[in-house]
Structure 1
Amino acid sequence: MAVYFFWGEDDFAIAQAVDQIKQSVLDPAWLSFNFQTYDGSKEESTIDALNEVMTPPFGMGGRLIWLNEATLCQSCSDSLLQELQRTLPVVPDSSHLLITSRKKPDKRLKSTKFIHEHAKVREFSPIPPWQTEALADRVKATARELGVNLDRQATELLGEAVGNDTRRLWNELEKLRIYQGNRTQPLTQSDIQILVAATNQNSLQLCEAIREGNGGLAIQLVGELLAQNEPALRIVATLIGQFRLWTIIKVMIEAGERDDQAIAKLADLKNPKRLYFLKKEIARLRSQQLLKTLPILLELEAGLKQGAIATEILPTKILELCQHFR
């Protein structure tokens, strides 16, 4: 299949995937003849791209047409839909059509359904920072791609350290690859602790400090995160995700639910075994304590989005959160 549809907000991961396709499809000597980019937000240029992809490549290699920032899966006129239906099923093997969009496709549209039937679809959405298993899986896959040998603990720690920042993960693994050199032994947890600054790990530590009502430590961690240029909204996203997870689990336990599989499913835990440790973390807490954190966190998020100064609003709201657990 010579049609690809990539969507999601992880711009760096999409850029990496686009480069891989360019390297596999195009001959560098004929790049300027066989690679064109079109504005996918305009119907006229979208039609031009669909016409161009039907043109045989010049010289060696294949042809790649990139329809960037496409809006086909958000709105699509009848005439444009007809062009899609006429073109996608007959794209020649020597030509490749790449469609990318930051926006989530609207599954109700005929154009979205048709593209999903005739394209290789990949989602590039950031992994929520609290999904530690998924972060570790992504570290493992990227490390394998770059030829970096990590043991299990190093993989988990690196996932916690960089969170869902794909660009930073790539840069850290490049650094670790150079450090590893010709060593055959896998890099260990101690290597990661020396070489990688743990921003997401500190965000999760911030959650723990708030849960323990330790205002002093919580303020210290906020200062460290901001000093490392960690975006305030990313810090808040981690807090919201973690406290939402704790709240769901505690509410279900207090409601009398004893089926761990049911709790894990509602809490969106891919690894139900993790539930044992999460239960221990919130054993001494009450659901009412956790429920009171969510409006504060939403106020914090709204304040930051409306232009509040992070160094002022974050410490204030963090201390307010800590008060509920003293």
Structure 2
Amino acid sequence: MAFYIYWGDDDFALVQGVQTLRDQTLDPHWASFNFDRIDSDQTDGLRQALTQAMTPPFGQGQRLIWLVDPPLFQQCSEDLLQELERTLPQIPETTVLLMSSGKKPNGRLKSTKLLNKQAEVREFALVPPWKTDQIADRVRQAAKEVGVTLNRAAGEFLVESVGNNTRQLYSELEKLKLFAGDRPEPLDLARVSSLVTTSTQNSLQLASALRSGDVTRALGLLADLINRNEPPLRIVATLVGQFRTWLWIKVMLEAGERDDKAIAAAADVGNPKRIYFLQQEIRNLSQRQLLGCLPLLLDLEAGLKRGQDPLEALQIKVIQICEICRH
């Protein structure tokens, strides 16, 4: 038996991973007979999945059983644990068993420890929006998979346009592939910018406006984000991550550190070459100013979780942070 656990909040990438596994596992002529998806809301889903896993496949190929969001990743009764211990070793080699979850399985549970010993675990996590170097790596990897060649400026534009939205990334790349056709030369910025659907504002641009103390621009960007239904807590998470990165870099610089690799490691920046540009962004800000911004953002996050009005709470903090950064 092959056994896999897929988890993470990047739904699109996870489903793509499932499709790849399905293509590798099933004979296309017998796929409808040998594939079962069992959702968490189905009665006794785990036992149903284990029963199906014990069934030999019809015709050619293997059988694939996909159990979606099983509760056992967060809580598991002793009866279900014993069922797993008894059944998993008996599942035939012709079965591929897949369990998936949008959340990380609780590593303290006996069931999770048992499953991790027998399964190949793969994480499908969204890249934090402020880690643009990791997003750039993902864009390059996805472009290679789809078969699209971009020059440097076009690649950077795509990073800024789609951010960590994997679904939009692949959608735009498929569009660019159709446009490129058999052209051997890389697509340039002019062509890509005319085809790619881009949001004019994002949370990183809001962070930049806050850093500059530009209240009018910051409030306009915030209004646009809210109008596009960007989750308020996601906006705050991006701002916290960006200001924390800036603060770490400022702390390291004021401590006398000049090694970009050491600064990148402390600030959790994957590409040390970005340190120069990040330094330029905060050259007019002091450590004290950055230290004053983070508590406001953390207080904002706590307030939103307590049920404060999102727009009003965000507007107040935007004005306060701009005031700190402007003086």
Structures share fold, TM-score greater than 0.5? yes
1:94 matches 2:94:
yes
CA offset at residue 275 of structure 1? 1.9
Contact 2:38–2:68, Cα closer than 8 Å, also in 1: yes
Contact 1:72–1:111, Cα closer than 8 Å, also in 2: yes
> Secondary structure at the residue paired with 1:36?
strand
Counterpart-to-counterpart distance in 1, 2:201 and 2:188: 17
Q: Which residue identity lines up with residue 119 of structure 1 in the other structure? A: A
> Secondary structure at the residue paired with 2:71?
coil
Counterpart-to-counterpart distance in 1, 2:180 and 2:310: 38
Q: 1:146 to 1:15 in 2, by over 3 A?
A: same
Q: 1:200 to 1:122 in 2, by over 3 A?
A: farther
Deviation sequence 1:176-222 (CA, Å, 0-9, x none): 22222222212122333222344387432222221111222223333
Alignment of 1:153-172 (within 5 A): 153-172=153-172
- 1:4 equivalent in structure 2: 4
Deviation sequence 1:30-86 (CA, Å, 0-9, x none): 344322222447894212312321211012332111111123332233333333334
Counterpart-to-counterpart distance in 2, 1:91 and 1:55: 9
Alignment of 1:12-31 (within 5 A): 12-31=12-31
Q: Give the TM-score taking structure 2 as reference length.
A: 0.88
- 2:70 equivalent in structure 1: 70
How many residue pairs align between the two structures?
Answer: 326
Contact 1:163–1:199, Cα closer than 8 Å, also in 2: no
Q: 1:122 to 1:43 in 2, by over 3 A?
A: farther
Counterpart-to-counterpart distance in 1, 2:202 and 2:192: 15
Gaps spanning 5+ residues in structure 2: where?
A: none
Counterpart-to-counterpart distance in 1, 2:304 and 2:183: 45
Counterpart-to-counterpart distance in 2, 1:39 and 1:194: 41
Counterpart-to-counterpart distance in 2, 1:157 and 1:105: 36
Counterpart-to-counterpart distance in 2, 1:137 and 1:126: 13
CA offset at residue 306 of structure 1? 5.0
Q: Give the TM-score taking structure 1 as reference length.
A: 0.88
Q: 1:229 to 1:58 in 2, by over 3 A?
A: same
CA offset at residue 148 of structure 1? 2.0
Over the matched positions of the two proteins, sequence identity in percent amounts to 53
Contact 2:201–2:224, Cα closer than 8 Å, also in 1: no
Counterpart-to-counterpart distance in 2, 1:170 and 1:221: 26
Q: 1:88 to 1:275 in 2, by over 3 A?
A: farther
> Secondary structure at the residue paired with 1:51?
helix
Q: 1:232 to 1:198 in 2, by over 3 A?
A: farther
- 1:244 equivalent in structure 2: 244
1:207 matches 2:207:
yes
1:33 matches 2:33:
yes
Q: 1:187 to 1:12 in 2, by over 3 A?
A: same
Alignment of 1:130-141 (within 5 A): 130-141=130-141
- 1:144 equivalent in structure 2: 144
